[in-house]
Structure 1
């Protein structure tokens, strides 16, 4: 009996192993290279590791296993195609976008706030929501927000110089986090966080908690990646206490706005869109009611049925407005703060570029009489410094698209099926010496107008590309440029002794400095000025 049981167990293990081998032969059967994988797990243990950065693993795949063109990977048994060829990426992001409209969805339990966020929407729902939100970030809106951003940047500089007078160095990552939280909250929701007046600012503290990836939290993301059904069966939740905090704040603000207080900001735009849709729905329902009444007085029902108007689905429910607001607060806080921290480190490390940028900014003030929106937009070297920072340290080190229609990759025999996932190694593209000579060196001149033609399309995409790029890109760039301008016109920044290299926080998702960015900050002297 023991031998029979043993043989049964061995047979079961062999059958499972053979099944795993078969499922992991999908890419090789198409002639596509695949890096070494583990039975059953595929490559997911590499992607969600807490000890190895995802971008480092993707970099290995990019150079060793064909990822610079394309290669196959597996998340458990789900096929994933890494694509690093810029020409193929152009087709996926733009030319054939209708085949790759969606991103990976993290759909949690029904009613979850996460499910309502723009990044989690797909198909027509995404299109409708994106169309409603896009007008918030036009040039006109950015110009109107400029004074508020400028005021918060003044608070940043004043606070930093006061700290610098008391301490040998200042953690600029923390200070930029205070700035971005105050700016986003003020410009988009009319909320005054007062982060520079509190020793431990509450808003920034809760936002920061969202980006702490413990083993348990990473495990939750792993489970929802593998099986959303299992995730919901186990009654797990993605939302943190920080998410709940911001949800309460936004709900309170919406209640105030609905009582008549207006600021013409992001939140008001969403509420106006909701009200406009409600009016349209009421009108459509009235038309349908009148049509039905008329048809009851005639024998020709079929002719009148064609006049009925069916109300369209509500795009912006109260829950959806809360979700977009929380997303903007949390995501905008960290990505821009980290970019500013990286930029300040690089400018401290390369003082020649720092001084060159300062001279451009001083000339801008002389020409415009002050720091103005127009002047910021015309500052070419400022733009180049920010773009080069985003090349070296893209907030998102990879991108993803889900194939929603059968798609043949141009010039190959590779066919993607609906549901197949495409991964884009943004970090690797940004550091590939084929596209960027001396890729690890901070060289802002690459992005000056006269040199931009040398940049190959789809090798620099810190905000994504195509119709599904970052909707708040203009806001983030303006924020970063104003903060750097104000800081460099008032202070010099230098590297702290024995801290010439920057460490990156181990994370499966976002790129963040590890241990802060500690810089020596000194007031700008008259001689330097």
Structure 2
């Protein structure tokens, strides 16, 4: 139909008098049926074609007006910070700076703001139309995170709000609910309670050493990230879920398979995650539920373990500590109704959060610490000598000895400075707040972020910031560190609750590895390659180290 009509249309003698025929012919070639049908009806009346062309031009004009108006609206919304004199990194219409995480590693995007757009003090950015204030000034951060914490009590919600387990996690609690739950859980991470879990962590660290030495007997190079990931998986399964995962001795247990599914981020899951975090109402409306089947599996594991513990089984792990906390609060005259606060679902939620927050961060820190020690043999030798002296005095690695080992702590802290697991942190403003020293007033709901990686690598605070220098964190030098320039676990009342456990876990494993073997970089793997697609700073898979056993009988 189209070709014959076009032939008639374009061969018409009226084309010379009415050039609009050529326009209509072009539109027909493009199969714009909405234009073609009126033309077909008016083929014997060329003047009607002029009317239709005018209608088309008017439609185009209206469309153009809408586009221009939308563009101006976007520009107006994105002038929020500049209207207050805050430097702003240029973004794209409508989406602001959301695309940056897809174009470059997220810590590089923040570092650009830090160095080029005033982010070392204050810088503006946009998540869609949502204004975000990036604060890099340590003095302002002290006010936001500690002094004026009551204005920044909340964090951004993580996950699906329709998920009953997700909403009970401590990291997703807000206001008074967060304060009550945090006050109940905090004692479970005291030094005394950590000491109870120390033997469980030591058992998994011994398995890590055995697995590494067994593998290097056949091949001296080893994928340390794979090994530390298995160690962390076994440790969390044991301490947070009360089960033996055995991923260091078996290829893949059911728990490890579900954890891999939970923690792996496919492209589709990544897009769903971004949509859920940035546009939770939209995600809820279209039925997106992140990690639904995975969370159900881990929840069922935790529920079964709770039943066993209530029947009398005890291991001294995280689940036991939470059940003890519930029992203690039930016996007290606490008016916050702790039994309701720490019901079974809330306890299950904290175990799942333990996996989310603790797996990749601890595994990556341990792998990275091993690699930087392999790159720096003098520092490795010094650490080994400290640990050998510790064992000589105590007869073995003890909780107190590991936690008080000064150079071990310095090596871990320096690794966390170079490679902080979260490259940035954030808080949500909960009531109007005037930023000190400025005229900027934050509104409830405004998001504040701080560039952790950039602060950790600023030569103003850290001489030779890219070099591994553990001495920065030795007791005699700690006074030289400016407050709020080092925050791998966050700072203030809403810092990482499990920080003490994470440090114990990494220190025990690293200490046992350093005592058992000498690390060296493998050919072709001299430099640490960071996974650019991750929100957490972690080494890319397949990075190899050479291990030379120091005690063949180990």
Q: Same fold (TM over 0.5)?
A: yes
| SS of structure 2 residue aligned to 1:466 | coil
Query: 1:310/1:145 Cα in 2 relative to 1: closer, same or farther (>3 Å)?
Result: closer
Kindly state the Cα deviation for residue 277 of structure 1 after the two structures are TM-superposed.
5.8
Range that drifts further, 208-217 or 428-437? 208-217
Q: CA deviation at 1:218?
A: 2.0
1:421 maps to which residue? 447
Residue 274 of structure 1 and its aligned partner are, at CA, apart by 3.9
Work out whether residues 491 and 524 of structure 1, in 8 Å CA contact, stay in contact via their aligned partners in 2: yes
**Corresponding residue of 1:196:** 248
From the superposition, tell whether residues 509 and 370 of structure 1 become closer, same or farther in structure 2 (CA, over 3 Å). Answer: same
CA distance in 2, matches of 1:372, 1:231: 48
Alignment match of 1:498 (pick from 521, 524, 527): 524
Report if aligned partners of 2:365, 2:419 keep a CA contact under 8 Å in 1.
yes
Alignment TM-score, normalising by the size of structure 2: 0.86
Superposed displacement of residue 36, structure 1: 1.0
- Deviation at residue 329 of structure 1 after TM alignment: 2.5
> Secondary structure at 2:208's aligned position in 1?
helix
Supply the distance in 1 between the matched residues of 2:460 and 2:262 (Cα, whole angstroms).
36
Match of 2:467 in 1: 441
- After TM superposition, list the pairs within 5 Å mapping 1:11-30 onto structure 2: 11-30=65-84
What does 1:121-200 align with in structure 2 at a 5 Å threshold? 121-200=173-252
8 A Cα contact 1:207 1:330, kept in partner: no
Instruction: Check conservation: 1:114, 1:239, Cα contact below 8 A.
Output: no
1:455–1:316 Cα change, 3 Å: same
Seen in structure 2, the aligned counterparts of structure 1 residues 159 and 313 have a Cα distance that, compared at 3 Å, is closer
Alpha-carbon distance in 2 for matches of 1:34, 1:85: 16
Higher relative contact order (CA 8 A, sep 6+): 1
Paired residue for 1:228?
Answer: 280
Is the contact between residue 159 and residue 277 of structure 2 (CA under 8 Å) also seen in structure 1? no
Q: Which structure would you say has the larger Rg?
A: 2
Residue 38 (str. 1) matches residue 116 (str. 2) = no
Aligned to 1:10: 64
Name the residue aligned to 1:362: 388
Distance 2:494 2:409 in 1: 23
Task: Kindly indicate whether residue 534 of structure 2 is the aligned counterpart of residue 478 of structure 1.
Answer: no
**Alpha carbons 2:517, 2:549 under 8 Å: kept:** yes
Correspondence list, 1:58-97, <5 A? 58-97=110-149
Matched-pair contact (CA < 8 Å) for 1:44–1:74: yes
Q: Hey, what's the Cα distance between the residues in 2 that align with 1:204 and 1:486? A: 24
- What residue number does 2:414 align with? 388
Report if the CA contact (8 A) 1:54-1:509 is conserved: yes
SS in 2 for 1:493: strand
Check conservation: 1:177, 1:204, Cα contact below 8 A. Answer: no
Deviation at residue 516 of structure 1 after TM alignment:
3.5
Aligned to 1:376: 402
Q: Does 1:248 align with 2:284?
A: no
Paired with 2:340 and 2:250, the residues of 1 have a C-alpha distance of: 40
Separation (CA, whole Å) in 2 of partners of 1:146 and 1:275: 23
Q: Residue in 2 aligned with 1:102?
A: 154
Q: Secondary structure of the equivalent of 2:341?
A: coil
Query: 1:257 & 1:84 partners in 2: Cα distance?
Result: 46
CA distance in 2, matches of 1:192, 1:313: 29
Question: How far, CA to CA, are the matches of 2:375 and 2:444 in structure 1?
Answer: 47
Segments of 5+ residues of structure 1 without an aligned counterpart are 285-308
Structure 1 distance, partners of 2:292, 2:545, is 32
Contact 2:162 2:289 in 1 (8 A): no
Q: Secondary structure at the match of 2:340?
A: coil
Runs of 5+ consecutive residues of structure 2 not aligned to the other structure: 1-54
